[in-house]
Amino acid sequence: MNDSVIKHITIIPGDGIGKEVAEQAVLVIRKIESLFGHQFDIQEAYAGGAALDLFGVPLPEETIDLCKKSDAILLGAVGGPKWDQLPPELKPEKGILGLRKSLGLFANLRPARIYPSLIDDSPLKGEILNGVDLLIVRELTGGIYFGEPRGTSFVNGEEVGINTEVYSTSEIKRIAQVGFEAALKRRGVLTSVDKANVLESSQLWRRIVIEVAKEYPNVVLNHMYVDNCAMQLIANPSQFDVIVTSNLFGDILSDEASMLTGSIGMLPSASLGGQIGLFEPVHGTAPDIAGQDKANPIGMIASVAMMFRHSFGFEKEAKAVDDAIGHVLQSRYRTADLMKEGDDPIGTQAMGQLILKNL
């Protein structure tokens, strides 16, 4: 890879605190640009509620076109109560679902690593958290969020809502391969999470994962029902290395795993599978604190590190960002979501500036 080539980044701030944390992400990118001699072209685009307000749709064609011309995409967050009453096809979240689909982003990587300085801030006991470093690989473009039939109708005089869990062999195989490849680069243990005791789609999931496992003899494969996995994430999270699971289960389990780290504001994610990766924090738009300089920008800044690592192959730059976050936390600086009672939190901008200074 030629480091002197300009890297084109589309940033979609979105709604609520997405705009505030996106600002901090841009500052980090510019600092890395200066420190390492790169050139980044950053273009802003609209999706979600912001796009609805301006264009009447959650995902304008202009946004799709710009994203397809980019080398990577950064997303803040979308949604909020302002748009809750819109019909399903106009929900802000439809913009992101559509973007993932149009770019072929079928694999979502959500790491949950415990910073030692945050162990005492977690709601769980410290001895449970020691050594926790896991990765959830979530299938992103199939399952119940996309299956047909779906919608609402009236049956026998009452309204009925329908969503359908659908998975094909090829969809399961490709996400399983992502999980096994990730496990090869880590500790070599893959846990496939399903509900095969009840769901036919999960029974197919398990059969295909077992078949794919034959291609990866150096990876230990475990199977776990999703309800047990939810319990084990709290009772014994250090047992997990890589978890691979469906769209719905991955959505729920990754949010649960975020609380191991002390706050959902800590977690980054990468959506991969096509030629262009999309990187975003796991948290939502938090409209209750939007515009108040209270949001935690670490999940967004850590997503920048994932972008450097997965889209550009900039491992040194990614490590520099990760290390800067760790140094700031080690120095006991905390945003409001990480504070204990009686502590004095710092704001979004102050946290961003501290991370910049530690780069």
The reply to whether 279 and 250 lie within a common domain is: no
What pLDDT is recorded for position 136? Answer: 97
The reply to whether 65 and 148 lie within a common domain is: no
Express each pLDDT in 254-304 by its tens digit.
989 988 887 888 999 999 998 999 999 989 999 999 999 999 999 999 999
- Count up the domains in the chain and report the number: 2
Phi-psi region of 184 (alpha: psi -120 to 50; beta: other; left: phi over 0): alpha
Is 322 catalytic? The answer is no
The reply to whether 273 and 350 lie within a common domain is: yes
Cα–Cα dist 94/57, whole Å: 9
The chain-wide mean pLDDT, for the chain, equals 94
What pLDDT is recorded for position 152? Answer: 92
Cα–Cα dist 287/17, whole Å: 7
Calculate mean pLDDT across residues 2-22. 91
Calculate mean pLDDT across residues 113-134. 84
Model confidence band, residue 2 (pLDDT cutoffs 50, 70, 90): very low
pLDDT beyond 80 at 3: no
- Report whether 345 contacts 335 (CB < 8 A): yes
Is 343 catalytic? The answer is no
Catalytic residue among 101, 255, 293, 333: 255
Is 133 catalytic? The answer is no
Is 173 catalytic? The answer is no
What pLDDT is recorded for position 71? Answer: 97
The reply to whether 19 and 79 lie within a common domain is: yes
Calculate mean pLDDT across residues 227-254. 96
The reply to whether 335 and 228 lie within a common domain is: no
H runs (alpha helix) in the chain:
18-36, 49-55, 61-68, 92-103, 126-129, 169-184, 200-213, 226-235, 247-258, 298-310, 315-330, 348-357
pLDDT beyond 80 at 123: no
Calculate mean pLDDT across residues 28-53. 97
pLDDT beyond 80 at 122: no
Copy the structure tokens of residue 307. 């972008």
The reply to whether 281 and 332 lie within a common domain is: yes
What value, to the nearest 5°, has the Cα angle with vertex 66 and ends 36 and 108?
70
Copy the structure tokens of residue 112. 């949950």
pLDDT beyond 90 at 187: yes
Residue 111 lies in a domain: no
pLDDT beyond 50 at 177: yes
What is the pTM assigned to this prediction? 0.89
The reply to whether 253 and 275 lie within a common domain is: no
Cα–Cα dist 206/66, whole Å: 38
Catalytic residue among 251, 294, 322, 337: 251
Calculate mean pLDDT across residues 222-233. 98
Catalytic residue among 7, 195, 216, 337: 195
Residue 115 lies in a domain: no
Describe the crossing of helices 226-235 and 247-258 by its angle, rounded to 10 degrees: 10
Burial 74-83 (b: 16+ CB within 10 A, else e): bbbbbbbeeb
The reply to whether 254 and 353 lie within a common domain is: no
Backbone angles phi, psi at 271, to 5 degrees: -110, 115
Describe the crossing of helices 298-310 and 315-330 by its angle, rounded to 10 degrees: 160
CATH number at residue 199: 3.40.718.10
Instruction: Give the structural domain span for 84.
Output: 1-106+268-359
What pLDDT is recorded for position 101? Answer: 86
Calculate mean pLDDT across residues 106-117. 91
The CA distances from residue 76 to 54, 62, 240, 295, in Å, are 18, 18, 28, 12
- Report whether 59 contacts 98 (CB < 8 A): yes
Express each pLDDT in 140-171 by its tens digit.
999 999 899 999 999 999 999 999 999 999 99
pLDDT beyond 50 at 1: no
Catalytic residue among 227, 288, 323, 343: 227
The reply to whether 182 and 306 lie within a common domain is: no
Cα–Cα dist 237/227, whole Å: 14
Cα–Cα dist 296/334, whole Å: 9
Is 145 catalytic? The answer is yes
What pLDDT is recorded for position 78? Answer: 96
Cα–Cα dist 270/254, whole Å: 13
Express each pLDDT in 67-101 by its tens digit.
999 999 999 999 999 999 999 889 999 999 899 88
Residue 78 lies in a domain: yes
The reply to whether 8 and 62 lie within a common domain is: yes
The reply to whether 139 and 253 lie within a common domain is: yes
* Alpha carbons within 13 A on the beta-carbon side of 259: 11
The reply to whether 97 and 213 lie within a common domain is: no
Residue 246 lies in a domain: yes
Give the rounded percent of residues in the chain with a pLDDT score beyond 70.
Answer: 98
DSSP-based helix, strand, coil % in the chain, nearest 5: 45, 20, 35
Pairing of strands 107-113, 72-77: unpaired
